[in-house]
Amino acid sequence: MGKAGAFLPHLAERLCLYEKLKAAYDEQCADRARKAGGPIRISLPDGRQVEGESLRTTPYHVASQIGQGLAEGAVAARVNGTLYDLDRPLESSSTLEFLGFDSPEGQAVFWHSSAHILGVAAERFYGALLCHGPSTESGFFYDMYLAGRTVLGSELPALEEACKSVVREEHPFERLEVSREDLLELFKYNKFKLQVIKEKVKSPTATVYRCGGLIDLCRGPHIRHTGKIRALKILKSSSAFWKGDPALECLQRVYGISFPSPERLEEWEQLQEEAASRDHRRIGKEQELFFFHELSPGSCFFLPRGAHIYNTLIDFIKSEYRKRGFSEVVTPNIYNAKLWELSGHWQHYSDHMFCFPVENETFALKPMNCPAHCLMFAHRPRSWRELPLRLADFGVLHRNESSGTLTGLTRVRRFQQDDAHIFCTLGQLEGEISGCLDFLQAVYSVFGFSFRFYLSTRPAGFLGDAHVWEQAEQQLEKSLNDFGQPWELSPGDGAFYGPKIDVQLKDALGRYHQCATIQLDFQMPVRFDLTYISKDGSMSERPVMIHRAVLGSVERMLAVLAENYSRKWPLWLSPCQVMVIPVGPDAEVYAYEVRETFHQAGFMADVDADWSATLNRKIRKAQLAQYNFQLVVGRKELSGRTVNVRTRDARQHGERGLQEALLRLRELRDARLRNAEELF
């Protein structure tokens, strides 16, 4: 393909039209600045205020006045709470905050700009029709249409070099507001962009950004120029579908990563090597925990060791349920589609459900438990005395994820959740939210995770009364403040049926994972007409519903834990808890007796009776397999009914009585300690 794409006639025509529109827009802005410009005050996060001029002063000007280091390190700005280009003039007195690469928003802007650089290169290299190029949590990608051909792995180095060429050229990112009519003219050659414009651009104007020869429909903001990307790497390519629909056009998706310095890229590459060694799919194979099969895609086969971890996690949550007043229930797996129509899920979610006909009716496997719990609440009259009612359900869920998105245990079609729903009064809401926060802290502290909170508030398409939403958001905010952990606001990110608290846990590699959630729901009780008799018996009241999960998907949590512990599971969760090692044939029968003693006590215990291996080799083999404890037995231990205790980190605890060792390991296991080997 080469760089012929840069000279395609429609690209030259697009650029010519853009330059004409930009010249007119710049003239309008200059005229407006002359007529309406005036002094403004700009408030900084530290309380300082600086003077500026409306329609002329930019965030970059302010940053340069404060210090060149700030100006060079800033990626974007937040003006009156809205993300802003550094070179976009301020219109009035404003609050101003600068965002660097290390902030989540700054990183998203940086990687979104990098996707545009990839777009420039893809048009040059392939003459591609660009479709969708967002930032992600771990970099960026661009979906492109290549009319039947694919992006070959052998082409990625040349594509990366084309991106680096765009970086070296230091093209500025230019923002331009254009009319809907001009948008349609700018993108008349690209059926994908035209579809986006027709479906999503409802306002009279929208913004486009120019980067080199690329003009792209985009809200922004972006970095100042392409030279800010000091390190960029193209990672891989894959197939995708327009709008994620296999019935529509097949696209090519190219992934990349970028950083503000080569050193940051080098650190990232080292982290990727470590992450690859910790990949849960690799660990699952090595430790014989689970596997997948093409005859049931996205549904995991848990082997005995994996099932031990899976069931131990569930038992842990069940033990917390008993302490915290939750009642476990069992609900059906298959429901008439009428249930999902009543709950509102059918309209939003039916494409992701496994549906099938039964006696001329449509049925579906459940993808979530909440409608079933509403049926449980509604099956008989309820009294205020029963509230809060906390229903917990480990029922099997199925979601029809597309095959291309299935990723080990983190994206599956069949899974279980520690799913629970709380029905309570508005007055009980604060206490219940506090209880949910305490629940997740109790669980995550056992795992050794730190975590962060996000309060997601009313979205644009919310359902219900705005005043009730505000009350609920205030109560969630109060609960978070009372809890004492830092939290961040995510405006407009709530579910359509209620605000929520999202919880991201941090693993050993510093990566964040979304697992737990606490969501308020005002709509489901209305849809199912849920009521309870008030305290004075005079009227029926509507309960508030809380959706909450701590582990989230048990499959996903198992994957996160596997990668966090990197084969070295804590004793209470470990699939390899005890290895009994006989010193000679005389102790073999006793070794199996010891193994059976621990097995009957609920331990995952094995015997290494390989007589071709030396004792030291057996011990080393057990340590490399990450058995938490090795119990060595010989003639002396047989005669005294003792065991010689060693650990996977080569600690030697010496000879102990069999029952003494069993009692101590049971204590350490049941206490769910992460350092049982040290504490023995």
By C-alpha distance, which of 188, 145, 9, 173 is closest to 87? 173
427, pLDDT greater than 70 = yes
How far apart, in whole angstroms, are the C-alpha atoms of residue 396 and residue 12? 55
Provide DSSP, 360-376: TEEEEE-S-SHHHHHHH
Q: What are phi and psi for residue 5, nearest 5 degrees?
A: -55, -25
Structure token digits, residue 207: 């913004």
Residue 76, beta-bridge partner list: 99
Contact in structure between 116 and 133 (CB atoms under 8 Å): yes
pLDDT tens figures, 536-553: 887 789 999 999 999 999
Give the other-Cβ count within 10 Å of 125's Cβ.
22
Consecutive H or E run containing 50: strand 49-53
Q: Which of 14, 500, 567, 664 is catalytic?
A: 500
Question: What is the per-residue pLDDT for 467?
Answer: 85
Contact in structure between 341 and 590 (CB atoms under 8 Å): no
Cα dist from 525 to 381, 422, 531, 627, whole Å? 14, 11, 8, 49
575, pLDDT greater than 60 = yes
Question: What is the per-residue pLDDT for 162?
Answer: 95
- Residue range 79-101: average pLDDT? 95
- Residue range 47-60: average pLDDT? 94
pTM of structure: 0.82
* Mean pLDDT rounded to a whole number for the chain: 93
By C-alpha distance, which of 119, 229, 219, 120 is closest to 167? 229
Give the other-Cβ count within 10 Å of 143's Cβ.
26
Q: Which of 393, 419, 502, 507 is catalytic?
A: 419
Give the type of residue at 408: G
Question: What is the per-residue pLDDT for 7?
Answer: 52
- Residue range 141-166: average pLDDT? 94
- Per DSSP, which regions of 63-128 are E strands? 74-79, 82-84, 94-100
Peptide bond into 388 cis (omega under 30): yes
Contact in structure between 119 and 142 (CB atoms under 8 Å): yes
351 is catalytic: no
At which residue do the structure tokens 């494409």 appear?
Answer: 351
Question: What is the per-residue pLDDT for 608?
Answer: 96
How far apart, in whole angstroms, are the C-alpha atoms of residue 624 and residue 629? 12
pLDDT tens figures, 93-132: 999 999 999 998 999 999 999 999 999 999 989 999 999 9
8, pLDDT greater than 80 = no
3, pLDDT greater than 70 = no
566 Cα distance to chain centroid: 20
Structure token digits, residue 198: 């027709």
- Residue range 411-437: average pLDDT? 94
Long-range contacts of residues 661-670, Cβ cutoff 8 Å, at least 24 apart: 661/631, 662/597, 662/598, 662/601, 665/571, 665/577, 665/578, 665/598, 665/603, 665/629, 666/601, 668/571, 668/572, 669/571, 669/572, 669/577, 669/602, 669/603, 670/572
pLDDT tens figures, 19-37: 999 999 999 999 998 988 8
Consecutive H or E run containing 435: helix 429-447
Looking at per-residue pLDDT, the higher value among 5 and 382 belongs to 382
Question: What is the per-residue pLDDT for 348?
Answer: 78
Residues 6+ apart with CB under 8 A from 465: 522
6, pLDDT greater than 50 = no
Question: Quick one: three-class SS letters along 208-258?
Answer: EEEECCEEEECCCCCCCEHHHCCEEEEEEEEEEEHHHCCCCCEEEEEEEEE
At which residue do the structure tokens 């992701």 appear?
Answer: 352
Question: What is the per-residue pLDDT for 4?
Answer: 42
Contact in structure between 254 and 234 (CB atoms under 8 Å): yes
- Give the confidence band of 78 by pLDDT, cuts at 50, 70, 90: very high
Contact in structure between 343 and 528 (CB atoms under 8 Å): yes
At which residue do the structure tokens 């992600």 appear?
Answer: 136
Q: Which of 222, 278, 308, 399 is catalytic?
A: 399
417 is catalytic: yes
- Residue range 215-225: average pLDDT? 96
Q: Which of 417, 428, 626, 630 is catalytic?
A: 417
At which residue do the structure tokens 């000679």 appear?
Answer: 584
Q: Which of 14, 390, 398, 421 is catalytic?
A: 421
Provide DSSP, 478-527: HHHHHHTS-EEEETT-SBTTB-EEEEEEE-TTS-EEEEEEEEEESHHHHH
280, pLDDT greater than 90 = yes
Give the type of residue at 593: E
Question: What is the per-residue pLDDT for 5?
Answer: 43
How far apart, in whole angstroms, are the C-alpha atoms of residue 332 and residue 464? 29
- Residue range 298-313: average pLDDT? 98
pLDDT tens figures, 331-378: 999 999 999 999 988 887 888 999 999 999 999 999 999 999 999 999
How far apart, in whole angstroms, are the C-alpha atoms of residue 64 and residue 592? 74
222 is catalytic: no
228 is catalytic: no
669 is catalytic: no
By C-alpha distance, which of 504, 527, 501, 502 is closest to 370? 527
When computed from its CA atoms, the radius of gyration of the chain, rounded to whole angstroms, is 30
How far apart, in whole angstroms, are the C-alpha atoms of residue 164 and residue 142? 16
Question: What is the per-residue pLDDT for 527?
Answer: 92
439, pLDDT greater than 60 = yes
pLDDT tens figures, 449-485: 999 999 999 888 787 788 888 888 888 999 999 998 8
Q: Which of 547, 556, 595, 674 is catalytic?
A: 547
